[in-house]
Amino acid sequence: MKRLNEYRVMWILVLFDLPTETKRDRKNYSQFRKEILKDGFNMFQFSIYLRHCPSRENSEVHIKRVKSLLPPRGHIGILRITDKQFSEMEIFYGKKKEGKPPLPSQQLELF
């Protein structure tokens, strides 16, 4: 079995809807967004961020990290899917098909 194959490689999607009514809410929103970006997530759409992980075990590390960053208010979803599932996504801009999902960003990980 290949070390990195389309069923072992994972993608994490963090989907969130956070309140921005008060100054504190806006600070929590900004801090949460900034911290997940520091952890290697990239914006896919507004309030949807994704991260490529070489293995399920690695994805668990990043999911645990996101959970430690959760703000006191708002709705946050964390979804983990295989690279194979991610590659089946169809992306459109209006009615025009855009093509394939984004490729993983080049990133050095040291453990």
In order of their start, the domains of the chain are 10-99 (3.30.70.240)
| pTM score, whole prediction | 0.82
Rounded to 5 degrees, what are φ and ψ at 76?
Answer: -130, 130
CA distances (Å), origin 69, targets 7, 21, 82, 98: 28, 20, 24, 33
pLDDT value, residue 6: 74
What is the pLDDT confidence band of residue 108, given thresholds at 50, 70 and 90? very low
pLDDT-derived band at 7, boundaries 50, 70, 90 = confident
* Structure-block tokens of residue 99: 């093509």
